[in-house]
Amino acid sequence: MRDPSAHRDRLGRHVLGHILADPGTLSVAVVTVFLAALAKGYSGFGFNLVAVGGLSLVLAPSAAVPIVLTLAAVSSVHLVPQVWKEVDWRSVWLLLSAAVPATAAGVTMLRRVPAAPMRVFISLMLLTAAALLWSGASRKQRPGTAPSIVIGAASGLLNGSIGVAGPPVILFYLSSFSTLATARASLVAYFLGTDVSAVTIAAMQGIVTREVLVRAAILLPALALGIVLGNRGFVRAPRDAARRALVVLLMILAVGSFVRGLYEWVGL
């Protein structure tokens, strides 16, 4: 009779080995996580967008998203104490009240949607977010309660399904009357809530496993270095220039992910 535990161990080593045994995959993962952490340390957002876009080039989304969610939660825990006093807590709690339950539905989607269509969906979301951020559209006042709940629910659904909670909420804060410091701080606090809820739900459903935690641990040095350098540059660097550079990076990653996903989907 086969030993189930031995089979699981062999499977775990096989899955884990995909990122350890292939230097190319590991290099892309390290560079991607560093750039994503650099973006988040500076702006308060961008980690999931950049990390999912980059890791989806070398890993299936179902493998990349749990790693990204785990690392994103760690990055937010590191940043929140530094921005605590500037957070607009009313808007954060309102968005989270809708995002957390919607995340569970998104996690269910992650387990059922094939990799190729998910890659295409991720890339289209990245391109849409990049175009909207580049346009710099703004509102004279913040959305009311009902629109805020819709935005939070859309963010939670995206967070659980493809690990990208950012686009709706980034636009919510950056297009409102909030100062950049308040928007950045509130985004950090919001993403902490969505990332922790997504990791918890994914772990309960067996998506965040021991192998995922080991992979995330391997990438922690790149995460820590990027967060520290990005946070230091928040006050010093020209903010508009840095934000546009992030948008360009998102566009490049989105195009690469879209081409690969479309190639796999249609079987060219």
Predicted local confidence at residue 12, as pLDDT? 45
Task: Convert the pLDDT of each residue in 74-100 to its tens digit.
Answer: 998 888 888 888 899 989 999 999 998
Bigger pLDDT: 87 or 9? 87
C-alpha atoms less than 13 angstroms from C-alpha of 59 in its C-beta half-sphere: 29
Query: What mean pLDDT do residues 219-232 have?
Result: 91
Give the total residue count for the chain.
268
23: helix, strand or coil? helix
| Strand (E) or helix (H) holding 206 | none
Within 8 A by CB and 6+ apart from 23, the residues are none
Query: What mean pLDDT do residues 49-63 have?
Result: 81
Bigger pLDDT: 61 or 6? 61
Percent of the chain at pLDDT above 90?
Answer: 15
Bigger pLDDT: 131 or 41? 41
> Is residue 17 predicted with pLDDT exceeding 60?
no
Return the top range by mean pLDDT from 127-131, 199-203, 238-242. Answer: 199-203
CA 241 to chain centre: 22
Residue 142 pLDDT class (50, 70, 90 cuts):
low
Q: What is the DSSP string of 151-178?
A: HHHHHHHHHHHHS--HHHHHHHHHTSS-
d(CA 268, CA 257): 15
Of 79-88, 131-140, 159-168, minimum mean pLDDT range: 131-140
Residue 1 pLDDT class (50, 70, 90 cuts):
very low
Task: Convert the pLDDT of each residue in 241-256 to its tens digit.
Answer: 766 766 776 677 778 7
Task: Convert the pLDDT of each residue in 101-126 to its tens digit.
Answer: 888 787 777 667 676 777 687 778 77
> First and final CA of the chain: distance in angstroms?
42
- Mean predicted lDDT score pLDDT of the chain: 78
Predicted local confidence at residue 251, as pLDDT? 79
